[in-house]
Structure 1
Amino acid sequence: MRFLKSLSGRFLILTIVFVMLAEVLIFVPSIARFREDYLMSRLERSQIASLALLANDDISPELQDELLQNAGVFNVVLRRNDARQLVLSSPIPSPITATYDLRNASAIDLIRDAMTRLVTPEPQVIRVIGDPVRMAGLLIEVTLETSELRTAMIDYGLRILLLSAVISGVTALLLFLAVRSLLVKPIKRVVGHMQSYAAAPEDARRVISPSAGVTELREAEETLKLMQTQLTSALKQKDRLAQLGGGVAKVSHDLRNILTSAQLFTDRLELSEDPTVKRMAPKLVNSITRAVHLCEATLAYGRAEEPAPALSRVLLADIVSDVIDSERLSVGDGEVSFSEDIPAALMIRADAEQLYRVISNLVRNARQAIVTTGKQGEINVAATETDDDWIITITDTGPGLPPKAREHLFQPFQGRAAKGGSGLGLNIAAELVRGHGGALTLERSDETGTAFRISLPRGGVEMG
């Protein structure tokens, strides 16, 4: 039963069935042709017997009976010179039941008459009409009994069926061996490679090496190799990310303690009477507070994914102002200019800390891209709102993203826009935006600059 469920077993059965079907289609016209030849041979024998009688009128009745027996008929009628003549005759044991004219019989008529004779076991007397051979008259007509005809047809049919069965068996065996060699074995080899790879997908040595000679199987093996290679690479990257996550958690633990101490010192700076210190101290306190919160979130979550955002109503202009003020401290005078086009009263529903990180990542990337060119540039942050979304765009006049960065834009360690970068910034930003139910997309990037678009859904929230 297991063999019959296999590809080889089912193919063997189908081959036998189809070959037998083909043989049956050959068997039917073969039987019809055999019957026609049988009847034509009786007409030829009868013609020879009648010519012998015409050549010598003194043939005895005993010799006439012998001629009829050798011809296998009861009587013979010839039509010569428009005259119909009963040449040989003997008593007919029963009435004539059917007449068959072989002169203009179609293939369908011959097949129908042959099948009718096979399924009719009772002996009958029939009349057969045909053309004499070698133009020896206009018509020849004989009567004969069908028992010998049917017996001969059955014997011929059995031999045809036996030969068909042998041909079917040999053909099926040859096709079975061919399919097993050309298809089944290569498929089993592919399945074996898949099972071996599944046991240790991190082992690059288990990736399949295409070797099939059949075009379709070769394409399947090449596709499988590509999938296995990509999966092995992804698993290795996942391991690196897991290791990185463990390292980040450890660093975050110690960094949190350091930043907490720094936060205590910055609290004292707020008491200074120096105007510059009084102006910069709050921003320093905010930056250290954000760093402490980030470390705490990393430790609390303990995984590579970001925690769900704590949504609240925030004033977007304040977040953008903090980002731009922080970035201005990182550049010299005149290197990069910052501008913002944010409605002063625009309130959006978001996690303030996470949104700060998103905008900060994008602005920092833009600033670094402009600085690497050694030319002056501008970064603009703008915002609008529609009935469905809040739209924030970050535009710069930098050199644009490299082709590889655009191809792997939001993939960690692959979407690096600047030399020495980790490629995590855009990945983190995209993940944070998705956590808000929104989307981060690249609107354009060419030699004139780059523009990113942040879409945050309003979700029918009343802001009044």
Structure 2
Amino acid sequence: MELTPDDLPDGLVIADEQGRVVCFNRAATRITGLAPDAALGRRLADALPLEDLEGRPWWQLTDPYGGLATRTGQPERSLLLPGGREVLVSARYVRGDRAEERTGPVRRVVISLRGTEARKRIERSHAELIATVAHELRSPLTSVKGFTATLLQKWERFTDEQKKLMLETVDSDANRVTRLIAELLDISRIDAGRLEVRRQPVDVAAALRRHVEGKVAAGQAPDRFRLALRGPLPELWADPDKLDQVLGNLLENSVRHGEGTVTIEAEPVKLSASAEDAVGRVREGTAVTVSDEGAGIPEESMGRVFTRFWRGSKRGGTGLGLYIVKGIVEAHGGTVAVGRAPGGGARFRFILPAGAPEHLA
């Protein structure tokens, strides 16, 4: 059965290249209280007269059909309809499918509307984020405060070896706090659609070897890992720091929550026939798979793995890592999925499109 706009749970409003409304679905009617007949065919600013919280006309402020040709839309924010009804609104500007059209005139403005119940869900999510951050910060900061206070008060009583041990603990906990802050910044950028990707040539095979060597140096048994590189990998342009985050998160999850051998595979793949580069060639990609032999992820939890605060076990962590993995991979134009490994454990696989930046446009 083919879905229609009326089947969508969120409000959908689409305006054509002249700025006139051509789609106003059932959810948009429910959220705004406006009838489709009163919106279809009218200018967007007249059919959906939104204002920001300071009373300024929204479409006049954002000027979707003008401004910079590189703009892709507006992130979700609270706006007001006549009468003061509050709605959550995001917009995407559609310019064209071909590379040369992507900085051309706007052909469609696609608006998503959500009601105040969605705002309440966001507020609950923010409250949960604050509680999680407070909990995760309390332990390392208590440790840092305790050890530094002890050293300052009783420095002469400790041997050099004891001082070194306490300072190493302080350093480790400070690194933990730094990682948590970096995660929060990434989440903020992902949510706002502003995660910056600095592409450069990346040697995926070397990156995988480096991460495995790091785990072994940290005390893991060398035979815990199996690295398989299948065939020559295509040239990959990616953000090396962001790719390290993805690899580090997936490997850490398999080591911490999985059991048995952790298998890391990298191989070239052909993307779908519709995924063509700027010169019409079918794109290549690099697929990386990380799997273990543990209990795996229950089937009923598969759909929640990449959401905020999902934890596969009680073995620590903020529950933010896989959410960030998904955001980073998608910012590169790739995809990530979870499934069951042949040995029964968890299997994570992400695919990044290969090629120089001009072919990724």
> What TM-score does the superposition give when structure 2 sets the normalisation length?
0.44
Question: Based on CA coordinates, which of the two structures has the bigger radius of gyration?
Answer: 1
TM-score (normalizing by structure 1): 0.36
Higher relative contact order, chain-length normalized (CA < 8 Å, sep 6+):
2
